[in-house]
Amino acid sequence: MRTYLPLFLASILCAGTLRGHGAAPDNGARYLAEDDFLADPAAHVIDGRVWVYTSHDRRTEVTDPTDGAHYDMRDYCALALDPRGGTVERHDAILTLDDVPWASRQLWACDALQRGDSCYLFFPARDRQGDFRIGVAVSARPEGPFAAEPEPIAGTYSIDPAVFEDPSGIYLYFGGLQGGQLQCYRDNVRLEEPRFPQPGQAALPPRVARLSDDLRSLTEAPRAVEILDERGDPLRADDPHRFFEAAWMHVRDGVYYFSYSTGGSHLICYATGDNPYGPFTYRGVILTPVVGWTTHHSIVEYGGRWWLFHHDSAPSGGVSSLRSAKVCELHYEADGSIRTIPGGRP
C-alpha cells in the first residue's frame, strides 16, 4: 500500500494552471498517481470510502496498435480516496494476468461491486484463442487480493464490464468496438468475420444482462442496450455520439444515466432512461476530448456531490497507451442534464 498526499497538495496548489508531469490544460481535475500510469478508473463507494479500480498501463515491447494490442496491461490497482482531497491509498497487483487461468493477455478496463462480505472484480482479457471474455474474481476485502474464477463468465464476450446494482437486481453492461471485438457478434453469436454496420445503419449497441445472486453467471442472454435519438430512432453508425466502449450506469433522482465513450470522436456522452435495460434517449456530452486516443470514465456520488473519474495521456506527453487517472466534480443542471466538462485537449 502506498499513499500520495504530495500529489493531492501539488495539484490543489496548481489549480488553474498546467498540472501533472505533462501539460494538460486545466479542467479542475486532480491526478491520482504521480509516478505511474493508471487508466480506466471505475469508482464506487464501499464501506463509506470511494474505491477506484484501475487498469495499469505500462511501457511494453508491443508497439503495433492493431486491435489495441499496445494496451498490453498485466495487472489491476485499487485506490481508496476522498475525491475532495487528501491522501490516495494505493494497492497494487490486486489481480494479475498470472492469477487468471483462462486469460492470455490484455487486462483492460475492470469494475467492482461489494455484496455481503465479499468484493467482486469484473474484468476482460483475451482468452487463449485471442477472444475477449469477461471474468470475475472475488476477495474478502475491497483492496484484494482477488481470486479469479477458473473460467470466464459463460455467455460474455467483448470488453469493458460495468456492474450496477439497484433494487431490481445486479446488471452487467459490456461491449467495445474494434479492438474490443463487439463487431464480431450478432445476437450473442460469434460471426465468421467481423461486420460493422454501414453509415446510416443503426450503430452496434452495448450489451446488458442480469447477474445471478452469486455474481458468477448471467441469468439471461445479453440484451442490446438501445440508445435512441429524440425521434426514437437508434443512433446511427456514423453518428459521432454513438456508443464505442466504456459503458457506465448511475442513477440520480430516479433517472437512469447510461454513459459511454464514442471512440474516434473522443467524447464521453450520455443517454437517459427509466430502468436498467433502457431504451435510453441520447442527452449530450459529459466530457470533451482529452489528450490521448481513449477516453474512459466513471461517475459516483460522494459527500453530497457528484464526481467524474476519467483519464488522459497528458502526463506521458500524449502517449495513448500511457494514461493517468484523474477526478473532477460533475454538475447537473436543474433539468437533470449534465454540464459538459472540458477534457483539455488543446
Any contact of residue 51 with ligand FUB (CB under 6 A)? Answer: no
Q: Which among 36, 40, 99, 239 is annotated as catalytic?
A: 40
Question: Which residue of 7, 29, 39, 225 would you call a contact of ligand FUB, by CB under 6 A?
Answer: 39
Grid-cell match 441520447, residue found: 282
* CA–CA dist 216, 57 (Å, integer): 27
Write the binding mask 62 to 101 for ligand FUB: x where contact by CB under 6 A, - elsewhere: ---------x------------------------------
Find all residues with CB under 8 Å of 313, minimum gap 6, and list them.
290, 291, 292, 293, 319, 320, 322, 323, 324
Any contact of residue 36 with ligand FUB (CB under 6 A)? Answer: no
Residue 76's DSSP bridge partners are 55, 95
Any contact of residue 109 with ligand FUB (CB under 6 A)? Answer: yes
Amino acid at 49: R
Which of residues 8 and 207 has its CB atom nearest to ligand FUB in the complex? 207
Shortest approach of ligand FUB to residue 85 CB, angstroms? 26
Which of the 8 DSSP states describes residue 214?
T
* CA–CA dist 251, 165 (Å, integer): 10
Size of the site for ligand FUB (CB under 6 A): 13
Q: Which among 99, 143, 226, 245 is annotated as catalytic?
A: 245
Backbone angles phi, psi at 10, to 5 degrees: -60, -40
* CA–CA dist 82, 55 (Å, integer): 20
No. of helices (H) and no. of strands (E), the chain: 1, 25
Burial grade of 294 (CB within 10 A; 0-12, 13-18, 19 or more): buried
Residues 264-303 interacting with ligand FUB (rule: CB under 6 A): 294, 296
Which of residues 39 and 136 has its CB atom nearest to ligand FUB in the complex? 39
Which of residues 159 and 330 has its CB atom nearest to ligand FUB in the complex? 159
Any contact of residue 159 with ligand FUB (CB under 6 A)? Answer: yes
Question: Which residue of 37, 108, 122, 260 would you call a contact of ligand FUB, by CB under 6 A?
Answer: 108
Any contact of residue 312 with ligand FUB (CB under 6 A)? Answer: no
> Is 312 annotated as catalytic?
no
Sheet holding 245-252, edge to edge: 227-228, 280-287, 268-273, 255-261, 245-252
Question: Which residue of 11, 27, 55, 298 would you call a contact of ligand FUB, by CB under 6 A?
Answer: 55
Shortest approach of ligand FUB to residue 177 CB, angstroms? 10
- Rg of the chain taking only CA atoms, in angstroms: 18
Shortest approach of ligand FUB to residue 180 CB, angstroms? 7
Shortest approach of ligand FUB to residue 176 CB, angstroms? 6
Residues in the site for ligand FUB, rule: CB under 6 A? Answer: 39-40, 55, 71, 108-109, 159-160, 176, 245-246, 294, 296
Where in the sequence numbering do the catalytic residues fall?
A: 40, 245
